[in-house]
């Protein structure tokens, strides 16, 4: 899991006597809440995840609730120091809270006010009727920015986006324009990856070293293996193997598994299908619920007709199958190794290995067809009246 908060600086032993209580703030409809998502974490999760090394518990809280009553229900008798934070401060860091606790110890007071939150002696919190801060700590400018509305949410999101992208760049990921790239916290991107502008990478995505993500990609919960290149495409729940080329304008849906060296090109959609090593699906094709062997060629305009209106059925192609342009393969169907499907065919029956299949209606040409309404004399006259013959639109 992505760690933006200085993992190497954590020292569990220093703060093992501290308990963190995070108040889940709720401002009602039309306002960001504790469960509002930012790059794969809720506002609450951003706060909780930053407190690694310290015991942390959350509790619901609304403006107007009895603060001390809510806090007392979560106090720990074995933790002499209690820190109260709010779920609406997603930029808070471990270091900011640890520094505040260190200052609190040095001052030897009962209560210290944070810009948004409190540090207090647990014994004092058990018996106090109200909180009166003895001291106030000054934290960094970003640490306790509070999200009260969607304007502030957008402001905070921009800071988090920057933290994430610069984290990856420090780890060796080349991001050409970090201001235009959005990466979720659950993504794993290895050093040596290149990311072009205007990309979104989210969910449990893994991008291996040596892969390239081109402009205008949306990638969610997918694996991009080393040497692969993805350009201007959308991927969700897909696997892209080594040295595969995807795009531009491809759509790989859940269950798309593209083996090494394959090519998925312009305006191709693939769903719940395995494309064998070295195979090509280059133009304007739909492949659904299929097993395509190695070194196959799927021509432009090919459709795998996998749905009969009630059930999804499978289509299987052996290795080295050639499917000509504008063909339709109707499931369930098996096409043997080395078979050749002629362009424009509608294949509804299994095809043996190394066979040629041609499934077209015979060409029937009628010369000087008199019933052609498009070129009739009456239509020509109408077109002339509207100025069509002068190049004007009809």
Grade residue 370 by pLDDT with cuts at 50, 70 and 90: confident
Averaged pLDDT for residues 275-283:
97
Residue 246 has pLDDT above 90, yes or no: yes
Question: For position 385, what pLDDT does the model report?
Answer: 59
Q: pTM (2 decimals)? A: 0.86
Q: Could you tell me the residue ranges of all domains in the chain?
A: 7-150, 173-357
Question: For position 2, what pLDDT does the model report?
Answer: 55
Lowest mean pLDDT among 92-96, 156-160, 180-184: 92-96
Catalytic residues: 283
Could you give the C-alpha distances from 192 to 179, 189, 210, 229, in angstroms and in order? 19, 9, 5, 13
Residue 375 has pLDDT above 90, yes or no: no
For domain 7-150, the CATH architecture is Alpha-Beta Complex (3.90)
Lowest mean pLDDT among 18-22, 268-272, 309-313: 309-313
Question: For position 18, what pLDDT does the model report?
Answer: 94
Residue % of the chain over a pLDDT of 70: 90
pLDDT tens digits, one per residue of 333-361 = 999 999 999 999 999 999 999 999 999 88
Question: For position 135, what pLDDT does the model report?
Answer: 64
Class of domain 173-357: mainly beta
Residue 21 has pLDDT above 90, yes or no: yes
Question: For position 374, what pLDDT does the model report?
Answer: 73
């Amino acid at each position: 899991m992505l760690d933006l908060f200085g993992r190497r600086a954590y020292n569990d032993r220093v703060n093992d006597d501290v308990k963190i209580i995070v108040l889940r703030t709720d401002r009602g409809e039309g306002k960001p809440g504790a469960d509002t998502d930012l790059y794969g974490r809720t506002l609450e999760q951003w706060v909780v995840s930053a407190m690694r090394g310290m015991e942390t518990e959350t509790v619901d809280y609304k403006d107007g609730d009895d603060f001390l009553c809510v806090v007392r229900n979560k106090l720990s008798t074995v933790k002499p120091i209690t820190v109260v934070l709010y779920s609406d401060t997603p930029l808070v860091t471990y270091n900011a809270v640890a520094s505040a606790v260190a200052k609190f110890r040095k001052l030897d007071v009962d209560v210290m006010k944070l810009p948004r939150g409190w540090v207090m002696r647990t014994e004092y919190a058990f018996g106090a009727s109200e909180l009166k801060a003895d001291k106030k700590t000054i934290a960094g400018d970003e640490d306790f920015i509070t999200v009260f509305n969607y304007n502030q949410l957008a402001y905070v999101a921009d800071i988090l986006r920057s933290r994430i992208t610069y984290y990856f760049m420090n780890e060796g990921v080349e991001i050409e324009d970090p201001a235009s790239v959005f990466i979720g916290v659950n993504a794993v991107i290895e050093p040596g990856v290149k990311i072009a502008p205007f990309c979104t990478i989210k969910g449990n995505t893994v991008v291996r070293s040596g892969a390239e993500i081109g402009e205008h990609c949306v990638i969610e919960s997918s694996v991009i293996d080393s040497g692969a290149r993805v350009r201007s495409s959308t991927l969700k729940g897909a696997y892209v193997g080594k040295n595969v080329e995807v795009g531009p304008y491809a759509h790989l849906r859940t269950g798309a598994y593209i083996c090494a060296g394959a090519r998925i090109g312009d305006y191709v959609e693939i769903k719940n299908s395995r494309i064998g090593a070295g195979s090509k699906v280059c133009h304007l094709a739909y492949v659904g619920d299929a097993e395509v062997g190695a070194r196959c060629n799927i021509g432009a305009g090919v459709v795998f007709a996998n749905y009969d209106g009630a059930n999804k059925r499978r289509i299987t192609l052996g290795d080295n199958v050639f499917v000509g342009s504008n063909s339709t393969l109707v499931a369930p169907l098996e096409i043997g190794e080395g078979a050749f499907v002629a362009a424009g065919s509608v294949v509804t029956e299994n095809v043996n290995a190394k066979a040629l299949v041609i499934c077209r209606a015979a060409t029937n040409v009628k010369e000087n067809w008199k019933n052609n309404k498009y070129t009739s004399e009456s239509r020509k006259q109408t077109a002339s009246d509207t100025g069509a013959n002068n190049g004007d639109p009809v």
